[in-house]
Structure 1
Amino acid sequence: MKSMMLAAVLLGAALGVSGCATTQSPTGRGQTLLYSPAQMQQMGDASFAEMKKQQKLSSDKKLTQYVQCVASRIISQLPDQTQRWDVVLFDSEQVNAFALPGGHIGVYTGLLKVATTPDQLATVIGHEVAHVLAQHGNEQVSRGQLTNVGMQIADVALGVGGVANRNAYMAALGLGAQVGIILPFGRAQESEADIMGLELMARAGFDPSQSVVLWQNMAKVGGSQGPQFLSTHPSNEQRIVQLAQLQTQVQPLYQQASPGKNQCVLPR
């Protein structure tokens, strides 16, 4: 009886602090978002801080500057120019990258062996930033709360920070591969991130046609299972076809971009 009463109290508290918003994604798809932007930023900040403690940062200044150059061009096209972004290059053979609420981008050195041009790297960074813009992380955390109420309600009701349950939060934010928990974004979310990411990179002066080459490269890496990136970002023929079809929509944006806008050079 006491446990049932406690559960009821926690549920009421969780609903009180979170609220429930039904909105539309950038492509018009319905979304249920239980968390405020401030709460999502707290989760993103905590998860990113923990990752920087646990994983080795690259000491290659030129390579780091290159990644930051590409990321800064993408960031320059975001609607909110007041948000500061932290861009970090991790020293790891993982073929992976991510972006988090709160303005955080992580890229692994292994990705640069597959994304071999600035345009291809911009494809990945644009895609990851698009997940944040479209609030896909909020969707994932909200879905986890609705389907696995116990832990999530306790966390929200008791005001527990993101670090205390970083595995759950990081998985919900699309970082499951980093902590051994796979919780991939859904097909609709991936398609939205593809569309938005292509538009971002095109406006930033990166050639969106290289997105097709990038995903073809991804499909060739790591044998039958592919690189780590594909565990949460499935690559298949249908996706490549969709990217090719989107070129007529995004190439005009690329052509309109200022000449010389993309001046990032991969160190050799």
Structure 2
Amino acid sequence: MTRIFLALTAVACLSAGCSNNSVTGRSQLTLLPESELQSMAVSEYQTFLSSNKVISPSTSKDAEMVTRVGQRITAAVQQYYAQKGISSQLDGYKWEYKLVDSKEVNAWCMPGGKIVVYTGLLPITQNEAALAAVMGHEVSHAIFQHGNERMSQGMVQQGLGSALSVALSSKPAATQNLFMTAYGVGSNVLGTLPFSRKHELEADRYGLIWTAMAGYNPQEAINLWKRMETASNGQKPPEFLSTHPSEGRRISELEKHMQEALTYYKPVK
């Protein structure tokens, strides 16, 4: 089955869907138009918010913090893309930041910048800099189209083709579930996320840069993942059994990229 899947992916890549990411330089299989995914994200985001308890920034300092940190992170991303002359790649992004009342230790970002942070994450982040590292990480998944990659692979594997509209009309429940899984909605950050190790480490590296550019100390990301390791209570499987990097591997990679991130760091006054 693995050989068949790899062969199908290779055919899809050669026929239409492979492109190089202009920031990371990595070749990606992205069969789905980002504009279609953003449209789907608006619908799924509103459905999610209507069925969960959203905390208002006007009544909660935590929700106000999520909005503030999110605005600084996304401003950093926009600045970075402008400096690279690739601002057009953020076309269609209408950033939103919501705090949702849930014990889950999780956060995610849909296409087009639809962000959710769960209250269960805040006891582990503990401060704005650590929250910035998480939100920077999740934003990286969205802008680097990691979910598009995961969903493209899933559609190839399930024989759904590359037309999102056709997949939605023929198998709406399966396509919706694939979308939610591809973007980590409902997955606990302390368990196995639906992103590959490569995606996770890529998001970590650039999440550090957005954190630093936003005026937060990126070194707090290391303390965050030490707390994550403590909170997991040894329940994670060994790294080789999971697509998710172990906390130790993740910390090692963060330390490797820390000097790069610190070159962007100017503390918020």
User: Cα distance 1:235–1:51, how it changes in 2: closer, same or farther (>3 A)?
Assistant: farther
Q: What residue in structure 1 maps to residue 63 of structure 2?
A: 64
Structure 1 pair 85/161, CA: closer, same or farther in 2 (3 Å)? farther
Which residue identity lines up with residue 110 of structure 2 in the other structure?
A: L
Q: Is the 8 A contact 1:127 1:196 kept in 2?
A: yes
Worse-matched range after superposition: 207-216 or 40-49: 40-49
Q: CA, structure 1 residues 154+23, in 2 after alignment: closer, same or farther (shift >3 Å)? A: closer
Q: In the alignment, which residue of structure 2 is the partner of 1:116? A: 126
1:133–1:55 Cα change, 3 Å: same
- Please tell me whether the aligned partners of residues 31 and 162 of structure 2 are also in contact (alpha carbons under 8 angstroms): no
Displacement of 1:240 in angstroms is 0.4
C-alpha distance in structure 1 between counterparts of 2:77 and 2:162, whole Å: 33
The equivalent of 2:201 in structure 1 is 191
Q: CA–CA distance in 2 between the matches of 1:35 and 1:48?
A: 18
Task: State how far apart, in whole Å, the 2-side matches of 1:246 and 1:154 are.
Answer: 38
Specify which of 251, 258, 268 is matched with residue 247 of structure 1: 258
TM-score between both structures, scaled by the size of structure 1: 0.78
Structure 1's 54 and 235: CA in aligned 2 closer, same or farther, altered over 3 A?
Answer: farther
State the structure with bigger RCO (CA 8 A, min sep 6), 1 or 2: 1
Residue 232 of structure 1, CA deviation: 8.1
Q: Deviations over 1:72-106 (max 9, x none)?
A: 00011123476321111000111110011022100
Match of 2:4 in 1: none
Normalised to the residue count of structure 2, the TM-score between the two structures is 0.78
Instruction: Output the CA distance in 2 between the equivalents of 1:246 and 1:53.
Output: 39
2:248 pairs with 1:237: yes
Counterpart code for 2:19: T
Q: How many residues align?
A: 234
Question: Mapping of 1:1-268 within 5 angstroms?
Answer: 20-25=16-21, 26-59=23-56, 60-79=59-78, 80=87, 83-150=93-160, 156-157=165-166, 160=169, 164=173, 165-175=175-185, 177=187, 184-225=194-235, 234-254=245-265, 257=266, 259-260=268-269
Encode CA deviations 1:126-179: one digit per residue, 9 max, x unaligned.
0000001111011011001111114x668632653997543221012222527x
How high is the sequence identity, in percent, across the aligned residues?
Answer: 34
Cα separation, partners in 2 of 1:160 and 1:45, compared to 1, 3 Å: farther
SS state of the match for residue 54, structure 2? coil
Partners of 2:164 and 2:33 in 1: CA distance: 15
Q: C-alpha displacement at 1:111, in angstroms?
A: 0.6
Q: Distance in 2 between matches of 1:130 and 1:92?
A: 23
Aligned in 2, Cα 1:159/1:245: closer, same or farther, shift over 3 Å? closer
> Quick one: distance in 2 between partners of 1:232 and 1:108?
23
Q: Is the 8 A contact 1:86 1:105 kept in 2?
A: yes
Bigger CA radius of gyration: 1
2-side partners of 1:142 and 1:73: how far apart? 31
SS at match of 1:112: helix
Instruction: Give how far 1:207 is off.
Output: 0.5
- 2:254 partner letter: L
Alpha-carbon distance in structure 1 between the residues aligned to 2:61 and 2:147: 31
Q: 1:177 touches 1:232 (CA, 8 Å); kept in 2?
A: no
The CA RMSD measured in Å over matched residues stands at: 2.7
- 1:172–1:183 contact (8 Å) kept in structure 2: no
Q: Helix, strand or coil for the counterpart of 1:246?
A: helix
Cα 1:65–1:88 shift into 2, 3 Å: same
